[in-house]
Structure 1
Amino acid sequence: MAYNYVKGDDKAVTDLYGDRTANSSCAYFTRYVAKTAKILDVGCGPGRITADLAQLAPDGHTTGIDNSEGIIDQAKASFPHSSNPNVTFAVGDANNLSQFADNSFDIVHAHQLLVHMTDPVAVFKEFYRICKPGGFLASRESNPSILLALNPDLPSIREYWARTNAVMKKMSSNPDAGSKIEAWAKEAGFGVDGGEILASKSPMSMPGHLGMVTGEKAEQAIKYGMATKEEIDVWAAGWEEWERAGEDKQFMLECGEIICWKGT
């Protein structure tokens, strides 16, 4: 069974990023961002968080990387260098950051990245390598299996979400990354070198997944064996009902957050 039909720059996927900003996604560490910080945002997606972080470090430089060339093109178009001179976007792979030297960045940031990684400890080792002594890693990951709120609470959406988590596991992803990131970071070297680790939890509001169960995405899900047409139709009806709830609708997950300072 194949599950590689979901591409990072597909609109149905980028729509799921919702209104993620530094304010909504990085509040746990923004008070530690110095104006002169050199920041790497790994898995930057369409670049909104990257650009926000750059504004917090106007006298530094922020680089956003993603393994999707298409989404990097979107980020460059949305935040052109002419208007954002201290921001750079480039294609890059979290598993291999060899384009960056050891001890290069004051802050290494990743949001909702490790959930997709097959070897998260190897990724954290790369983060540790490129983080400057005295600098820090900031990582926020959801625990998709922990639904904090669903309104309207529809059985069809719960069934869809359970299947989504099962598919993630078959893709060798980590649907409970938020509860594991601290252990992964320690295994990679953080916290055992004299540096401090701060861990916390917070809720994350999610947009609906109607785009994942309609149109081309629905056809691909059926083609690759993720679901039957009958299941897709039920899930689509559920998300349509959820959307009709307007301002009353809620879809909220638990997130784990860590700030890991590299020892000096």
Structure 2
Amino acid sequence: MSKEQATYSHGHHQSVVSSHARRTVHDSAAFLAPHIQPTHHILDVGCGPGSITADLAALVPEGRVVGVDAVASVLDQARARVRRRRRQRAAYADATFDVVYCHQVLQHVRDPVGVLREMRRVAKPGDGGGGGSFVAAREADYGGFAWYPADAGLDRWGALYQAQAVASGCEPNAGRCLHAWARRAGFAPEHTQTTVTSWCYTGARARQWGEMWADRAVHSGFATVVKDKGLGTEEGLQAVSKAWADWAMKEDLFFNVPSTEILYRVPPTTPT
């Protein structure tokens, strides 16, 4: 993979990693799962704490799953999780993977097109049959988030999130860009399926989301970037944190996180 220069503004505070560890194949890779075969070799790019990686491993009892991430501490957690699921993580070579997948990664990199090209490069050429080889990605669109009840403090958080992501060299609205990035990376439209799904939280799960962001607003990499880039103050971040905590205590909570997905079926002969 190419060297990345963007800043991962979420950071790896426990509030971030715990949230990421709740992700599953069901809620984050349902668009890909029906295409996975028991013998597939899968590369999970930016695997984080490995919850999706472990789920993928369960789908390939005769295959292999490799998870890669830039941060050693989350890889340690991923290794432990995958060991508990009795799957092996191994080194990988170019052009050996049947499936190359990333989830909520491209929004955090400076060159998402370059990363997609690399993902395509390490995927096997397709076999021309019903199984084939795939490159898959799923990216959120922060500009499309919606919540109830309305809250001015959460509006402020949304504006700060956009500003700190851009200041970090990232694209917070990656979901709406994903299909264009894929085309520029050489993914032919006729071989690329584009879909949109959402995480829709209500009740206790929405409350957990609010409490998580109340913590992240002051303790995670998000807070560090906001202050370091002169986008806000500690006092302002405390106000955003309180807004999240207060919102989480309200009735009839609703929070929607839309994400765009691309599923590229690699053709039998991959152009150079």
Return the TM-score normalized by structure 1.
0.85
* Partner residue in 2 for 1:143: 141
Q: Secondary structure at the match of 1:189?
A: coil
Amino acid at match of 2:89: T
Deviations 1:5-61 (A, max 9, x none): 856432132134262100111111210000111000001011000000111111111
Q: Secondary structure at the match of 2:140?
A: strand
Amino acid at match of 2:148: N
Quote the Cα distance in structure 2 between the aligned partners of 1:137 and 1:218.
29
* Partner residue in 1 for 2:46: 43
* Partner residue in 1 for 2:171: 174
Report the CA distance shift for 1:41/1:151 in structure 2 as closer, same or farther (over 3 A): same
Quote the Cα distance in structure 1 between the aligned partners of 2:266 and 2:8.
37
Q: Secondary structure at the match of 2:98?
A: strand
* Partner residue in 2 for 1:231: 236
* Partner residue in 1 for 2:245: 240
Amino acid at match of 2:111: D
Any conservation in 2 of the 1:42–1:110 contact (CA below 8 Å)? yes
Quote the Cα distance in structure 1 between the aligned partners of 2:226 and 2:135.
39
Quote the Cα distance in structure 2 between the aligned partners of 1:168 and 1:221.
9
Q: Secondary structure at the match of 1:160?
A: helix
* Partner residue in 2 for 1:88: 89
Amino acid at match of 1:52: D
Shift of 1:100: 4.1
* Partner residue in 1 for 2:77: 74
Within 5 Å, which residues of 2 pair with 1:79-118?
Answer: 79-80=82-83, 83-88=84-89, 100-118=92-110
Unmatched segments (≥5 aa) in structure 2: 1-5, 127-132, 202-208
Q: Secondary structure at the match of 1:172?
A: coil
Q: Secondary structure at the match of 2:236?
A: helix
* Partner residue in 1 for 2:121: 129
Report the CA distance shift for 1:259/1:5 in structure 2 as closer, same or farther (over 3 A): closer
Deviations 1:85-134 (A, max 9, x none): 43317xxxxxxxxx743321000010000000100111011011100111
Cα RMSD (Å) of the superposition? 2.4
Task: Identify the match of residue 258 of structure 2 among 250, 254, 258.
Answer: 254
Amino acid at match of 2:262: I
Shift of 1:243: 2.0
Quote the Cα distance in structure 2 between the aligned partners of 1:115 and 1:23.
21
Quote the Cα distance in structure 2 between the aligned partners of 1:250 and 1:17.
20
Unmatched segments (≥5 aa) in structure 1: 90-98
* Partner residue in 2 for 1:120: 112
Report the CA distance shift for 1:172/1:223 in structure 2 as closer, same or farther (over 3 A): closer
Quote the Cα distance in structure 2 between the aligned partners of 1:106 and 1:146.
32
Quote the Cα distance in structure 1 between the aligned partners of 2:223 and 2:120.
41
Q: How many correspondences in the alignment? A: 247
Q: Secondary structure at the match of 1:132?
A: coil
Quote the Cα distance in structure 2 between the aligned partners of 1:237 and 1:156.
8
Quote the Cα distance in structure 2 between the aligned partners of 1:189 and 1:62.
25
Return the TM-score normalized by structure 2.
0.82
Quote the Cα distance in structure 1 between the aligned partners of 2:43 and 2:220.
34
Report the CA distance shift for 1:163/1:222 in structure 2 as closer, same or farther (over 3 A): closer
Any conservation in 2 of the 1:60–1:86 contact (CA below 8 Å)? no
Quote the Cα distance in structure 1 between the aligned partners of 2:225 and 2:184.
36
Quote the Cα distance in structure 2 between the aligned partners of 1:245 and 1:146.
22
Shift of 1:216: 7.1
Quote the Cα distance in structure 2 between the aligned partners of 1:181 and 1:222.
26
